[in-house]
Amino acid sequence: MIPCADPRAGYVAHRQEIDAAIRRVLETGRYVLGAEVAAFEDEFARYVGVAHGVGVGSGTEALHLALRACAVGPGDEVITVSHTAVATVAAIELAGATPVFVDIDPATFTLDPARLEAAISARTKAVIPVHLYGLPADLGPILAVARRRGLRVIEDCAQAHGARYRGSVVGSFGDIGAFSFYPTKNLGAIGDGGLIVTADAGLAERARLLREYGWAERYVSHIAGWNSRLDELQAAVLRVKLRYLDRDNAARSRIAALYRELLGGSDLTLPVERGDARHAYHLFVVRSARRDALLAHLEEQGVRALVHYPVPIHLQPAYRDRLRGSEALLASEAAAREVLSLPMYPELAESDVRLVVGAVSAFSATARAG
């Protein structure tokens, strides 16, 4: 079976360095918020191009604490998209705020800037553009509206490590960027982990307080906070893998180019690459009007494709009938019916890409013959 993602391959590729980093941590006896976390916070912030990094327990918590650092809470509204991982909305609700959905651009699957202004109300406090699948949202017009209306912008970069917009790394544009290091991400840990990045020293300090009970000094809470800490083992592993992130992203781009070449004559809609952005290809997402049948066929042929995401959040049982959009979310609903993620990870062999494409082509030929 060709997997959709293979986090073990990322470990094997750097086994000696990762094993050495883990041993280094184990021998120190310091396993939470030590030197490895501090070093990784600094290294990743510099990679993004901002001054401050704050390690936390997960990508969801990065978003949650980013919102809290921006003073978003009960009574506030936060605009985002419904076609995203549910973590985006879970974080908004953890902060006590209300998500408000706008539709996506059907070509890019990211927040449609033309629909943002109409969704703003007197209660709107922030916007979370999601850089879905590794493609940056169109930040220029989003930031212009947000600045004009006095809104915070929190970039959801969970799927976009190393992606670039107008030449700069995502996470450096908004008030705060939030990253996830879930094992399948472009920069993946061996468990959960997350990080907040910001150029604002005040927001960074508030996030540091919030992640550990509001402590400025141990056991004394200056504000009410939580327990959301990146541990030393994960930070040590991430420091190793960060050194290879651009190389791995280049491998993803080469795989994407091969998919494009081989699937160019197919009936699939292939991912968009905008001229102002560099796609990180966390996922290679295609569209098919016969998505479910294609998914079943690929499984039968030994190809593990996945659907990111099969139900938009506003239609999921936990959220329908209580969360609103500013208008009908037709593009989000259509995407959920049609998107399919083909295998994509840096170690994916060219021969396996050709097997995937062969299985897609066989499905298309059978459908035409039928």
Summary count for the chain: helices (H), strands (E):
13, 15
pLDDT at residue 370 above 70? no
The reply to whether the predicted model has a pTM over 0.75 is: yes
Check: CB of residue 348 under 8 Å from CB of residue 354: no
In the chain, CATH 3.40.640.10 sits at 7-102+109-242
Structure tokens that stand for 90 in this block: 């879970």
In the chain, CATH 3.90.1150.10 sits at 245-369
Reported CATH class of domain 7-102+109-242: alpha beta
Least confident span in 4-8, 68-72, 214-218, 225-229? 214-218
β-pairing, 215-217 with 77-81? unpaired
**Nearest in space to 126 (alpha carbons), one of 78, 81, 91:** 78
Residue-wise pLDDT for 106-117, tens only, equals 999 999 999 999
Check: CB of residue 228 under 8 Å from CB of residue 57: yes
Collapsing DSSP to helix, strand or coil, 287 comes out as strand
Reported CATH class of domain 245-369: alpha beta
Rg value, the chain, Cα: 21
Check whether the bond before 345 is cis (ω within 30° of 0). Answer: no
Residue-wise pLDDT for 309-344, tens only, equals 999 999 999 999 888 776 789 999 999 999 999 999
Q: What single-letter amino acid sits at 222?
A: H
